[in-house]
Structure 1
Amino acid sequence: MRKELQTNLQYVDILNEWDPFRLTNGGYDTEIADTIQAIHELDDSNELAKRIQSIYEFSFEKIIPIEECLKIAKELLMIKENDACSI
């Protein structure tokens, strides 16, 4: 359980740093929670990128280019994969 919490905190750090709409004050709590849920459900970077894009679009009514979403999706899934390997 502790390892999972640590991994989730890594996801939070990466997603806060990402800041796709340049909010700078970390106004992404809901989106980060939804994205972490999606990471646990999905293993495919393309699927995760689409989900991330729709999560943020729903909240901000702006579309993040899929390439940006794919880049962050791959980064997040790499952490997930590394976490799974270290058990």
Structure 2
Amino acid sequence: METSLMNLLMADELNNWDPFRIGGGSYDPEIADAIQAVRELNDANQLAARLQSIYDFSFEQVIPFKECLSVAEKLLSIKNQGSCSL
């Protein structure tokens, strides 16, 4: 899978998440930071903590860790599908 397609799939997943119910398209800086975090991390727990930190920094509200972990697992699944080759 091409990097650009993988990034779009991750951005779609993050837009659909909408943790603060403010509407998709309202999280562009956070999505960019989250995608960068996915590139850097391979552990779901570490990624979940980073997602929690990214959104807390922007919105000053802590998202429950379990919710972040669920999203982190989905993002890592997309990343792992993208890194597989025949």
Separation of aligned partners in 2, 1:13 and 1:73? 13
1:40 is aligned to 39
The alignment of Structure 1 onto Structure 2 pairs a total of residues equal to 86
Separation of aligned partners in 2, 1:82 and 1:27? 27
What is the CA-CA distance between 1:25 and the residue it aligns to?
Answer: 4.4
- Cα deviation 1:35-79 (Å, max 9, x = unaligned): 000000000000000000000000000000000000000000001
Q: Under a length normalisation based on structure 2, what TM-score does the superposition of the two structures give? A: 0.96
Separation of aligned partners in 2, 1:64 and 1:86? 35
Q: Under a length normalisation based on structure 1, what TM-score does the superposition of the two structures give? A: 0.94
Separation of aligned partners in 2, 1:5 and 1:78? 16
In structure 2, list runs of 5 or more residues that go unmatched.
none
Indicate yes or no: 2:59 matched with 1:60.
Answer: yes
Output the aligned Cα RMSD: 1.2
In structure 1, list runs of 5 or more residues that go unmatched.
none
